[in-house]
């Protein structure tokens, strides 16, 4: 009898697991097809961050060392004050190891992460609201959020924080439902590991740990055990950080200087905080915080950067301008529980790291998006629970979301693709490909690259890897147009320079440019040119 019961229980668990996998696949497949299609087509070029991360990932994939020769580093030193977080680079390294280097493969891990976000939002909403319909609604709202779509197609680390926050939220819901310490420990662990996803996570993850404490306090008072479990889960992933920072003492100070927070070389932490507030003021930072909730930013114009937005759509679908307020109302009044109110805390805490650096850029606060989708789904459910007029309005708002996304998507794949090229450093790729065309394998002619083309020292080795032309690396010379002695440049050398007169003047003064090829942008303009000495 016991064996029969055990077998029945196992079958039920397997059936439940199969249902979860089936639901996840039904969501993931269409979302990934949407997010992962034509990744190398739009955006038209790789941004410099994408090129940097890709070159670091390729180094790990091929040698297990970073570009500076360090074995499996915890953080990646890029240059100056910039250190990059590891999870995005190691994830990309797996794809490059298996599939090779191309623009599409470089961006594919982000599309996978974006897809995972949508799946996780479904399960969070399903557990939180006890409704499959609300789960599907929240997932659809996130999937069709313009900013989420855009960042799921960029090979940067900003998107990687989202699944860790959503995983934490799912674990916290599971703990509150079943009182299992393992779920609470896992949630804390996801926040701890999430610290390594994006530099802003150093602020965000402790903030969401404090949200965990609020939930625990409301349920258990000051009973210490759940607090200790959450802290232990958060702390263990950070253990490797202690010896790392001891062996790399400049990293902390570099981060502070990179974001112009304060000079840690001369100020203590308390002095630095005082200096930050006196320099920018509480009012200025309050204004920055408000701008993240400015309706124009959220629902109409979006981010001013063409990397973060198209300028023809807001961060969220326009329908959320109504669904979000209704959702906040539903959370506060209709279903007032600690876990549901956690959505509001998560939503309003999302820009906290961006406020510290005083930048209103959505890539600094992408965590706001899944919380908004969950709150908006609550607002939609509240509207559907009302009279006929409210129900009709809810259905109209829901229908407006895919219709607006269709217009956004058409613009993203056409006009935006052409207009955003300048923000993605211009057609550097075309110039590098022209250099490789002019220097076939075995030619051995020098290649001169102007240092006034920013980030070229990252793009060039990456495209040599992509085209399997590493033979040209040994023939590469970087030159400063202000100091170069043109008479020492061998005849027949291929040169990539800006089209500005100042960049080409040293060569013009030595005679006419030979075999000049302007590197055209889609609109016909040219920022770069290739010619010969």
Question: How does DSSP assign 219-258, residue by residue?
Answer: HHTT-HHHHHHHHHHHHGGGTTHHHHHHH-THHHHHHHHH
The reported pLDDT for the residue numbered 249 is 87
Q: Is residue 245 located within the same domain as residue 179?
A: yes
Q: Is residue 409 located within the same domain as residue 292?
A: yes
What's the total number of domains in the chain? Answer: 2
Q: Is residue 412 located within the same domain as residue 485?
A: no
The answer to whether the beta carbons of residues 338 and 456 sit under 8 Å apart is no
Contacts of 133 (CB under 8 A, 6+ apart): 381
CA 410, 413, 417: angle at the middle one, nearest 5?
130
Q: Is residue 505 located within the same domain as residue 394?
A: no
> 481: helix, coil or strand?
coil
Cα distances (angstroms) measured from residue 347 to each of 204, 220, 327, 359: 12, 24, 12, 18
Q: Is residue 107 located within the same domain as residue 213?
A: yes
Q: Is residue 164 located within the same domain as residue 227?
A: yes
Q: Is residue 61 located within the same domain as residue 172?
A: yes
CA 87, 186, 178: angle at the middle one, nearest 5?
150
Q: Is residue 404 located within the same domain as residue 448?
A: no
Range 357-367 average pLDDT: 91
Domain-ending residue, one of 366, 394, 418: 418
pLDDT tens digits, residue range 43-64? 999 999 999 999 999 999 999 9
Q: Count of alpha carbons within 13 Å of 75, Cβ hemisphere only?
A: 28
pLDDT tens digits, residue range 81-127? 889 999 999 999 999 999 999 999 999 999 999 999 999 999 999 99
With a cut of 70, say whether residue 270 has pLDDT above it: no
Range 478-504 average pLDDT: 91
What is the rounded distance in angstroms from the CA atom of residue 304 to the CA atom of residue 334?
36
**394: number of Cβ within 10 Å:** 22
Q: Is residue 396 located within the same domain as residue 439?
A: no
Domain-ending residue, one of 418, 445, 479: 418
Q: Is residue 481 located within the same domain as residue 350?
A: no
Q: Is residue 117 located within the same domain as residue 143?
A: yes
What is the rounded distance in angstroms from the CA atom of residue 49 to the CA atom of residue 16?
42
- Return the CA Rg of the chain: 26
What is the rounded distance in angstroms from the CA atom of residue 156 to the CA atom of residue 154?
6
Buried (b) or exposed (e) across 212-231, using 16+ Cβ within 10 A?
Answer: beebbeeeeeeeeebbebbb
Domain-ending residue, one of 368, 400, 418: 418
Range 233-237 average pLDDT: 98
With a cut of 60, say whether residue 2 has pLDDT above it: no
End-to-end distance of the chain based on CA atoms, in angstroms? 89
What is the pairing mode between strands 494-498 and 476-479? unpaired
Q: Report whether the peptide linkage leading into residue 43 is cis, meaning its omega lies within 30 degrees of zero.
A: yes
With a cut of 90, say whether residue 283 has pLDDT above it: no
Domain that holds residue 469: 425-532
Q: Is residue 323 located within the same domain as residue 261?
A: yes
The reported pLDDT for the residue numbered 21 is 87
With a cut of 70, say whether residue 264 has pLDDT above it: no
**Which bin fits 79, alpha (ψ -120 to 50), beta or left (φ > 0)?**
left
């Amino acid at each position: 009898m016991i064996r029969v019961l055990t077998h029945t229980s196992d079958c039920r668990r397997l059936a439940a697991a199969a249902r979860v996998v089936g639901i996840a696949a039904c969501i993931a497949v269409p979302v990934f097809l949407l997010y992962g299609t034509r990744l190398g087509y739009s955006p038209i070029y790789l941004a410099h961050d994408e090129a940097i991360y890709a070159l670091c990932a390729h180094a790990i994939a091929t040698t297990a060392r970073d570009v500076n020769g360090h074995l499996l580093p915890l953080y990646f030193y890029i240059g100056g004050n910039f250190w990059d977080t590891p999870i995005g680079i190691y994830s990309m390294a797996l794809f490059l190891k298996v599939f090779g280097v191309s623009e599409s493969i470089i961006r594919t891990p982000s599309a996978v992460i974006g897809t995972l976000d949508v799946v996780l939002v479904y399960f969070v909403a399903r557990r939180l609201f006890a409704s499959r319909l609300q789960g599907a609604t929240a997932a659809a709202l996130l999937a069709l959020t313009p900013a989420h779509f855009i960042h799921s197609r960029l090979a940067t680390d900003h998107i990687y924080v989202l699944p860790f926050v959503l995983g934490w939220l799912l674990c916290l819901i599971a703990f509150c439902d079943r009182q299992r310490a393992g779920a609470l420990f896992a949630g804390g662990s996801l926040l701890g590991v999430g610290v390594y996803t994006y530099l802003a996570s150093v602020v965000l993850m402790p903030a969401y740990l404090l949200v965990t404490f609020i939930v625990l306090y409301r349920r258990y008072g000051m009973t210490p055990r759940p607090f200790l479990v959450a802290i232990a889960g958060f702390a263990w992933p950070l253990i490797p950080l202690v010896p790392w920072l001891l062996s790399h003492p400049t990293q902390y100070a570099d981060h502070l200087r990179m974001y112009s927070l304060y000079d840690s070389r001369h100020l203590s932490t308390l002095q630095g905080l005082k200096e930050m507030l006196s320099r920018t003021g509480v009012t200025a930072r309050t204004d920055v915080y408000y701008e993240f909730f400015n309706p124009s930013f959220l629902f109409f114009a979006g981010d001013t950067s063409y990397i973060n937005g198209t300028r023809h759509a807001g961060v969220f679908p326009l329908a959320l301008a109504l669904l979000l307020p209704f959702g906040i109302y539903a959370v506060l009044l209709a279903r007032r529980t600690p876990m549901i109110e956690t959505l509001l805390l998560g939503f309003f805490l999302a820009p906290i790291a961006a406020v510290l650096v005083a930048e209103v850029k959505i890539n600094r606060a992408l965590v706001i998006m899944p919380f908004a989708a969950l709150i908006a789904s609550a607002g939609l459910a509240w509207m559907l629970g009302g009279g006929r007029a409210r129900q009709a309005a809810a259905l109209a708002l829901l229908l407006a979301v895919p219709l607006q996304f269709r217009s956004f998507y058409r613009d993203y794949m056409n006009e935006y693709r052409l207009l955003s090229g300048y923000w993605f450093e211009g057609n550097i790729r075309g110039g590098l490909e022209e250099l490789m065309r002019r220097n076939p394998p075995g030619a051995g002619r020098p290649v001169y690259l102007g240092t006034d083309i920013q980030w070229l020292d990252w793009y060039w080795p990456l495209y040599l890897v992509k085209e399997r032309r590493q033979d040209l690396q040994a023939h590469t010379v970087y030159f400063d147009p202000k100091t170069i002695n043109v008479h020492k440049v061998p005849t027949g050398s291929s040169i990539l320079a800006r089209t500005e007169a100042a960049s080409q003047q040293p060569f013009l003064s030595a005679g006419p440019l030979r075999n000049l090829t302007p590197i055209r942008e889609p609109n016909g303009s040219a920022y770069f040119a290739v010619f010969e000495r």
